[in-house]
A and B are shown apart, each in its own frame.
Chain A
Amino acid sequence: MSVDGYLEAFRSQGRIVVVGASLAGLRAAEALRDEGFTGTLTMIGDEPHEPYDRPPLSKQVLLGKVPPDHTALPRRRLVDAEWRLGVAATGLDLAAKRVQLSDGDSVEYDRLLITTGVRARPWPRELEAELDGVFVLRTRDDATRLHHRLKAGPRGVLVIGAGFTGSEIASACRERGLSVTVAERGAAPLVGALGGVVGEVAAELQRSHGVDLRCGVQVTGLEGDAAGRVRTAHFSDGAAVEAEVVVVALGATRNTEWLADSGLGAGPRGIACDAGCRAFDVRGIVTDDVFVAGDVARSPHPLFGYQFLSLEHWGNAVAQAEIAAHNMVSASTDRRPHLWMPSFWSAQFGVNIKSVGVPPMADQIIVTQGSLAEHRFTAAYGHQGRIIAAVTFDQAKWLDFYESEIERAAPFPPEFPTVDRRPEGMQPVPAGFPDPSLPSHGPTVTLSGHSPTDRRITFTPRRA
């Protein structure tokens, strides 16, 4: 049988199942139809909601500017799919090409796309996590509950973890006039994602906006009252903080447990796939019919030493979903690589933060425009003499330039003058990243080794 003949039949009458009905899943489904796929399409999502947008959940929703149920993702086109929402996938049989579902049913596919994303890492002590007033923030329901409680004006809010989500939550609380303590195990907020130099600026931002920021401490325990409501948090430095709301923002866990015995190269760091979004099996052989996209995927990027990158970035989810969809219905010579330039943004304490490239790979940093002290700057990150990333605080309009510098591996430190190069920006300094082998809730880019079946790195959440 001709393979091309198979492809034609598949495009017209094949069965595609997408597991994970959020941003990547929806955009992939739309792209599949755009690509001319006319077979059956099944969308499986563990949440009961239609696909919605997550970035507003830690910003506009907490501020009450947007109701949680007004975050549905805009639809680009009709997808004509069977939606199975509120049902989780619980297992995968690669040989039988079948996905098992939590309601006991199963779905067969000719090609499968996995976009199961990540979930919030919960507070590790289960009894404490169940106290009333302890929250995580990942889903729309999380945001609804947290917003409801913040609106009531709690007397103290404790945010555990000063990564992007934690910092944005603290920012929203301050904007609501609530008193906020932020506890961060690292030396500064955002230190895992942006390093110590920029982390210091983030710390100043928090403090100047009235956040009681405590760095270099861990929360050792949460204590409730007789009614089971959280009241006090104990810190590793012996301090105790009163709080009626505790938000646990310790990063995310990849939703791969359902694949544990499937034979797919899936683990705590995500599902390994090639640049064409095809999943690897545990032997390191690329599969023909299983594709991956979004936060749960790890794929090699030539610009960054072919390391397998896991990116929890909105733009990456969209771009990778489109590539995966294209490749799922294309002949091998028409396939495209996913070579997206990592980039993300955050809004906190009145500042727009944007990043391109992979800052945590860097050894050095230099401020090429503006000034750290003014909280408006562009910083370039260097890795072994070339530019590897750039971050802006309220200067996002320059990022296109730095992106092209990263793409062409331009030398670091950049020697040229710029329209706003200050004396402080003439010498590179150490970028100040913590040891990347230690698990951290901070980075939104995780460098996880060179090999798809690299099992040497195991994720062991440190007990608090």
Chain B
Amino acid sequence: MTSVALLHRITDFANRPDPYPLYAELRKTPVVRDEAGPYLVSTYWEIRSLLHDPRISSDARNLTAEAAKATGQDQDPDLPPNFLRLDPPEHDRLRRLATAPFGPPDTPRRVYDMHGELTDVVAELIDGCRGKEQIDLVDDISYPFPVTVICRLLGVPREDEKLFHEWADTIAAGPDPVVTDEEREAKLESVRRARRELAGYLAGLIEERRRSPRDDMLSAMAAGHGADGRMSPVEAVTTSALLLVAGHETTVNLITNGMLTLLRNPDVLQRLRAEPDLAVPLVEELLRFEPPVQMLPQRTTLADIDIAGTIIPKGASVYLMLASGSRDPQRFTDADRFIPDRSDNQHLGFGHGLHACFGAPLARLEAQLALTALVRRLDAPRLAEDPPPYRPNAVLRGPRHLPIAIGGIKD
């Protein structure tokens, strides 16, 4: 059995700006047990096959006690898992209920119809930067934009953002691997507290919507849909908390990583300015090249699984290193190059299979609109700091700030 000690280097904050050389090292052994306990899967085809493998569970209750403890993924005694941490059939039922007001087949035009509204939100945020010589892309645009959108979509008052911002950040750091027992305990406690508080807040809102429904997803989830009935109050809370946090903590990084990459590749920035349609393949390439979700650390095995010559034993903790798989030279030519119109780009940025990103259509549209508007309207943008300061998160990775010097804002 080969074993490596790479996980602590990947989570080491010093390596946050550029974890990709570590992934390259990891790929030398496609499936390997890390000293810290989990099995790391780092190559494209192996990750993809496990994402479709019905012997892989997302439910922490299937971890061995030892694996659960080692990775800090004990069951939260206060709240049941959301559908990201559930297997079929429970997962399927909740995801269908959440999809009913969001996408096909019942609401196929939901995201499409938000086009105009999203364009306006971005335009207003950029207008707000007039008169500045330097903007912080994160605080000025890429954070407030998706937050405004997810709040409107769910029906959460935007002005309550200062309330739940802290909770969302704490929860988003939850999946990050920790090293010491003390860290683990402290984090578990703070994540649970944040989940409790967010749940309490959302429970109030959902109860309100149950009594007087509006045209938003909280109302729809409270009302239920068709043969699946409706979510229990606690299911509605865990599901809406998941969507709120996911809407908060991922697209912000996609937009920020996008602008950072464009500023590092001025020729591509110029091209996007001249050809706005390039935004579509460009965002796909971003999802491959600088994905907001770097790894999925919450899978486990229901049986011994033989993959790439290694047997992952039943109940082991398995980390699927998505960002590494998307840079696998066995799958992508010039994998370390950013090629905005790359063809055959089936990246792992949104995962794959059963748990493929729920919000993907919205995230794509948000990133396409934001980047197109930014390159069109920011005059002479350049990076004020490279690399920028990063958030601590290793899983949901992205800059905390992205200072950009600008000549002004164009109309």
**A residues bordering B, Cβ < 8 Å?**
368-370, 374, 376, 378, 397-401, 404, 416-420
Looking at chain A's contact residues, the main secondary structure is mixed
Tell me the bound Cα distance from A374 to B93 in angstroms.
12
Q: Would you mind naming 17 contact pairs between A and B with Cβ atoms under 8 Å apart?
A: A370-B88, A376-B89, A378-B54, A397-B353, A397-B354, A398-B353, A398-B354, A399-B52, A400-B52, A401-B49, A401-B52, A404-B49, A419-B57, A419-B88, A419-B302, A419-B354, A420-B88
Q: When the two chains form their complex, are residues B92 and A369 in contact, meaning their CB atoms are under 8 A apart?
A: no
What mask results when residues 344 to 362 of chain B are scored 1 for a CB within 8 Å of chain A, else 0?
0000000001101000000
Which residues from chain A contact B53 at a C-beta distance below 8 Å?
401
- A420 engages B49 (CB within 8 Å): no
B-side interface size class? 10 to 19
Q: A416-B55, A417-B303 are in contact. Are A369 and B88 (CB under 8 A)?
A: yes
Residue with the greatest number of chain A CB neighbours at <10 A, chosen from B49, B53, B57, B354: B53
7 smallest beta-carbon distances between A and B, as pairs:
A418-B54, A419-B87, A400-B52, A420-B88, A416-B303, A401-B52, A417-B302
A398 with B55: CB separation less than 8 A = no
Taking a contact as CB atoms under 8 Å apart, the answer to whether A398 and B89 are in contact is no
In whole angstroms, what is the CA distance A404 to B307 when docked?
Answer: 12
Measuring CB to CB, which residues of chain B are less than 8 angstroms from any residue of chain A? 48-49, 52-57, 59, 87-89, 92, 302-303, 353-354, 356
Q: Which listed residue, A368, A399, A419, A420, touches B56 by the CB 8 Å rule?
A: A419
Pair A400/B49 contact, Cβ less than 8 Å: yes
Write the nearest CB–CB distance from B342 to chain A, whole angstroms.
18
Q: Are B54 and A369 in contact (CB-based, < 8 A)?
A: yes
Task: Report yes or no: A416 in contact with B354, Cβ–Cβ below 8 A.
Answer: no
Q: Are A420 and B52 in contact (CB under 8 A)?
A: no
* Chain B residues in 8 Å Cβ range of A416: 55, 302-303
Q: Which residue of B is nearest A404, CB measured? A: B49
Q: How far is the CA of A370 from the CA of B91 in the complex (A)?
A: 12
CA distance A404 to B53 in the complex (A): 10
Are B54 and A398 closer than 8 Å at their CB atoms? yes
Nearest-CB distance from B376 to chain A (Å)?
Answer: 29
> B57 — which chain A residues lie within 8 A by C-beta?
419
Classify the interface of chain B: helix, strand, loop or mixed: loop
Q: Contact partner of B353 among A369, A374, A400, CB < 8 A?
A: A400
CB distance from B374 to the nearest CB of A (A): 31
Q: For A397, list chain B residues within 8 Å (CB).
A: 52, 353-354, 356
B43 to chain A: closest CB distance in Å? 15
Min CB distance A365 to B, Å, is 17
Q: How far is the CA of A397 from the CA of B51 in the complex (A)?
A: 10
Most buried by A among B49, B87, B92: B92
The answer to whether B89 and A368 touch across the interface, beta carbons within 8 angstroms, is no
Name the CB-closest residue of A to B49: A404
Extra inter-chain contacts (6) besides given A401-B54, A420-B88, CB under 8 Å = A369-B88, A400-B353, A416-B55, A419-B56, A419-B57, A419-B87
**Nearest neighbor of B353 in chain A, beta-carbon distance:** A397
Which residue of chain A has its CB nearest to the CB of B226? A350
Among residues of B, the one whose C-beta sits closest to the C-beta of A419 is: B87
Q: Which residues of A contact B92 (CB under 8 A)?
A: 376
**A-chain residues with CB within 8 Å of residue B56 when the two chains form the complex:** 419
Across the interface, name the chain B residue whose C-beta is closest to A400: B52
- When distances are taken between beta carbons in the complex, the residues of chain A under 8 Å from B354 are 397-398, 419
Q: Which residue of B lies closest to A418 (CB)?
A: B54
B55 near A370 (CB under 8 angstroms)? no
Name the distance in Å between A41's Cβ and chain B's nearest Cβ: 24
Separation in Å of the B91 CB from the closest CB of chain A? 8
With A397-B353, A401-B49, A404-B49 known to touch, is A420 a contact of B55 (CB < 8 Å)?
no
Neighbouring B residues of A400 by C-beta, 8 Å: 48-49, 52, 353
Specify which chain A residues have a CB less than 8 angstroms from the CB of B302 in the assembled complex. Answer: 416-419
B52 touches A398 (CB 8 A): yes
CB pair A418–B55 under 8 Å, yes or no, is: yes
What is the chain B residue whose CB lies nearest that of A352? B105
Which residues of chain A are within 8 angstroms of B49 by Cβ–Cβ distance?
A: 400-401, 404
Give complex CA distance A376, B56 in Å. 19
A374 to B52 CA separation, bound complex (whole angstroms): 22
Compute how far the CA of A397 lies from the CA of B355 in the bound complex, rounded to whole angstroms.
9
B residues within 8 A CB of A369?
A: 54, 88
The CB with the most chain B CB atoms within 10 A, among A374, A419, A420, is that of A419
Q: How many angstroms between the C-alpha atoms of A368 and B53 in the bound complex?
A: 12
Instruction: Tell whether, in the assembled complex, residue A368 and residue B54 are in contact, meaning their CB atoms are under 8 Å apart.
Output: yes
Q: Which residue of A lies closest to B62 (CB)?
A: A419
Cα–Cα, bound, A449→B28 (Å): 46
Residues of A within 8 A of B303 (CB): 416-417
Chain B residue contacts of A418, Cβ below 8 A: 54-55, 302
Query: Which residue from chain A places its CB closest to the CB of B58 in the assembled complex?
Result: A419
Q: Which residue on chain B has the smallest CB distance to residue A394?
A: B92
Q: Please, how many angstroms separate the alpha-carbon atoms of A399 and B52 in the complex? A: 8
B57 (CB) vs chain A CBs: closest residue: A419
Evaluate contact between A420 and B54: CB separation under 8 angstroms: yes
Which chain B residues lie closer than 8 Å to A419 at the CB level? 54-57, 59, 87-88, 302, 354
In the complex, A426 Cα to B57 Cα: how many Å? Answer: 19
Query: How far does the alpha carbon of A21 sit from the alpha carbon of B168 in the complex, in Å?
Result: 56
Contact B353 A420 (CB under 8 A): no
Inter-chain CA distance A368–B302, complex, in Å, is 14
Q: Report B302 CB to chain A, min CB distance, Å.
A: 5
> Cβ of B356: which chain A residues have Cβ within 8 Å of it?
397
Give the complex CA separation of A420 and B302 in angstroms: 11
Min C-beta distance of B86 to chain A, whole Å? 9
Q: Please name all residues of chain A whose beta carbon is closer than 8 Å to the beta carbon of B59 when the two chains form the complex.
A: 419
Q: What's the nearest-Cβ distance from chain A to residue B351, in Å?
A: 11
Nearest-CB distance from B85 to chain A (Å)?
A: 12
A417 to B354, CA, bound (A): 17
Task: Name the one of A376, A399, A420 contacting B87, with C-beta atoms under 8 angstroms.
Answer: A420
* A401 contact set on B, CB distance < 8 A: 49, 52-54
- Cβ of B54 and Cβ of A370 under 8 Å apart? no
The CA of A249 and the CA of B28, in the complex, are separated in Å by 55
CA distance A398 to B57 in the complex (A): 13
Return A295 CB to nearest CB of chain B, in Å. 27
Q: Residues of A contacting B89 with CB < 8 Å?
A: 370, 374, 376, 420
Q: In the complex, which residues of chain A have a beta carbon less than 8 angstroms from the beta carbon of B54?
A: 368-369, 378, 398, 401, 418-420
